[in-house]
Structure 1
Amino acid sequence: MSQLSMYGIDGVEFMKAYLNGFDYTIDDITVNGDTAEAQITLTCKSYTGYQKALEEAVTKITENPDELAGMSNEDINKKIGEIVTGSLDNVELKPTEPITITYTKVNDVWEPASSTSGDISAALMTN
């Protein structure tokens, strides 16, 4: 996210826009003693949809090189930032494939497996 700043993009604001409309459902829970599995489906902006919108925006601007010809590097970076953030605007919300999160009960507290963050990130980035 910090690399986005060179394009005039606030990483936190970018993620807020990307996660706008985020939701989830708990599809199933299975408990077996001190372990449990929760199957969930996330709903968020389609990452593949975002990539497609970004490609279309880049194609549009590169089809007209005269628009970039007289711009400074700073102005070009700002334009890139506008393209990146603008590409999020009309991306559809789409459910992910269901993911399973494993929990272990420790001292009467259910704790998610250490892989949970990676599993959720993978589901968001392949949506």
Structure 2
Amino acid sequence: MMELNVLENHGGSRFERFFNLINLRFTRHEAWTLKAARRVPLLALFAFGTLWVWFFLPMIPFGILVVVLLEKAGIFGAILSMVLGIGALAIIAPWFFRWYFICAGLMIGRTNMAQLKEDDVSDRLERLMGPKSASESA
């Protein structure tokens, strides 16, 4: 019984806390990107480009797997690599195009999409930081 209370006090397993920390840092980076893009709208795409680090670094092992599949598995590896690539593209494309249209809108003076994204990001930040700030005030 005591072990369950200890886990509840720490907010879950180490694995969950690790992914919550990564999610919090990514959300903070998104907030910084929006702030930088609103400050200098003509360079908004460069601010958006900094978010790609969050996808390129974790994709390095995936890229190595694809190269090994292409070299060692023949046609089966090529088909599997294509399926994995299309799946990854289907996941990343909506995120990419939303950010692209936000930046393009800022570049021509439209701030509606940026404001909606900023509200979304601030809501996520409040949810991610909420339990921590509640425990600090108690």
Q: TM-score, normalised by structure 1?
A: 0.27
- Structure richer in helix, relative to its length: 2
- Structure richer in strand, relative to its length: 1
